[in-house]
Chains A and B, each alone.
Chain A
């Protein structure tokens, strides 16, 4: 793999909160346009890792490079879907989706065409002018995902976005995120502790250990899409990963 195809390069990343070692010397790469899932046990440091990527917090040592330069939200186009619902309650669905584009001071034509496209892809036409309190949790999360994709991010980070949703909604939203990923060509880093979800979505799954988190293993998922969770190969890969994490 030529180095120009590498989007994110994580080198010997370590993070301590006081004496608490959370991330222990993590190194890996993510390629341009790749969909990577990170799975790991509860509390192992997944959210901490994403916070480091977006520089919400600073690493204790090591570095994260995006396109060969230190990760910096002021330089790189990074979007984030947080674990908790984070749509702005005072904005409508459409205004929430516009938010990042407005902050970036895009022209109003560009905002309009981009937002219309995202709303179309998400099938949110009817809810354009609804406020978050008028929506279900899953609807709100879709708006947040739309907000993240609207920016055409170089890198999209998703932190267990479907954690609180039921199976049926999850399947639906998983297909939706794949559709958005294909349509926008973004590089996606998706965190989950649901193995089936990881295998369904990812081109590659990184498996973290218990705290302090290290990368325990890595698994390529080269199944064609759309994938089926009952497909033999799918089940096999999921079993492989399950075996790798027996020590959770």
Chain B
């Protein structure tokens, strides 16, 4: 546990580094403000963005569009990754059958899927969500498999002695015992899903933070690119903070 003094010290330290970063940004940008907007110009662009929607979508709308895609995809990743992971971790035969396919699919980066997915599904919402899903399902699936296969034998023995059937064993023992590792997988999935959604939106989209970047490029609005990038960073960090809270709520039983 951090003491109050340590908290203040840490806050001061991080404030200093942010100030240094902005100072560097000022120094670099003032020499060529047309190519590289100053912090002030970037903030002005942000304020303008709040007043004037792009493609009839407000800035909140763009953030929300990206978030929505990620949340749908993560939802699907959790359902499929945890479900399949429980089965594969539990049943060695199923694992033997499917594991090679998964190990081969996993290294293919989501970007490499884009042409195929556009050919098959066009450029609507579904293909974007699908891309994010591809970018986020593997950490959840692999973490679930390894968590399930590493559940302490002691707990399984307790289940056997009390005659828990397979479903009860999975539900009451294997699943909760695997929870910390599964949540760690979901955390990785959220951050990689957030990166993929931006990439997907940069290719073909009329909304989302990734779209703002391409719009900035096409209209030579470098400040807009900067604004979008910073927002991507902030929202991504916020997502991981929110998820850490959820994680702590769900795994309060873990020793700290």
Within 8 A of B (CB), among A77-109: 78-80, 82, 84, 86, 88-92, 99-100, 102-104
Q: Is the interface of B mostly helix, strand, loop or mixed?
A: helix
Q: Per-residue CB proximity of B148-179 to A under 8 Å, as 1/0?
A: 00000011011111111000100011001101
Q: A88-B173, A131-B253 are in contact. Are A103 and B155 (CB under 8 A)?
A: no
Is A69 an interface position by the 8 A CB rule? no
Is A112 an interface position by the 8 A CB rule? no
A88-B162 in contact (CB<8A): no
List the A residue with the shortest CB-CB distance to B177. Answer: A90
Is A246 an interface position by the 8 A CB rule? no
Output the residue of B160, B162, B255 with the most chain A CB within 10 A.
Answer: B162
Q: Per-residue CB proximity of A96-131 to B under 8 Å, as 1/0?
A: 000110111000000000000000000000000001
Chain B positions within 8 Å of A80 at CB level = 157-158, 161
Chain B positions within 8 Å of A79 at CB level = 161-162
Chain A positions within 8 Å of B168 at CB level = 103
- The total of chain B residues at the interface (CB under 8 A) is 21
A54-B160 in contact (CB<8A): yes
What is the bound-complex CA distance between A84 and B157, given in angstroms? 12
Output the residue of B161, B176, B179, B252 with the most chain A CB within 10 A.
Answer: B161
Chain A positions within 8 Å of B154 at CB level = 82, 84, 86
Is B1 an interface position by the 8 A CB rule? no
Is A235 an interface position by the 8 A CB rule? no
Q: A82-B154, A86-B154, A131-B252 are in contact. Are A73 and B177 (CB under 8 A)?
A: no
List the B residue with the shortest CB-CB distance to A72. Answer: B163
Q: Is the interface of A mostly helix, strand, loop or mixed?
A: loop
Output the residue of B154, B252, B253 with the most chain A CB within 10 A.
Answer: B253
List the B residue with the shortest CB-CB distance to A85. Answer: B154
B176-A88 in contact (CB<8A): yes
A91-B253 in contact (CB<8A): yes
What is the bound-complex CA distance between A22 and B252, given in angstroms? 42
Within 8 Å by CB of B155, from A78, A86, A104, A133, lies: A86
B164-A103 in contact (CB<8A): yes
16 residue pairs A–B, Cβ–Cβ below 8 Å? A73-B160, A73-B162, A80-B161, A86-B155, A88-B155, A88-B177, A90-B177, A90-B251, A91-B176, A92-B253, A99-B172, A103-B162, A103-B168, A131-B252, A132-B253, A133-B254
Residues of B that sit less than 8 Å from A by CB = 154-155, 157-164, 168, 172-173, 176-177, 179, 251-255
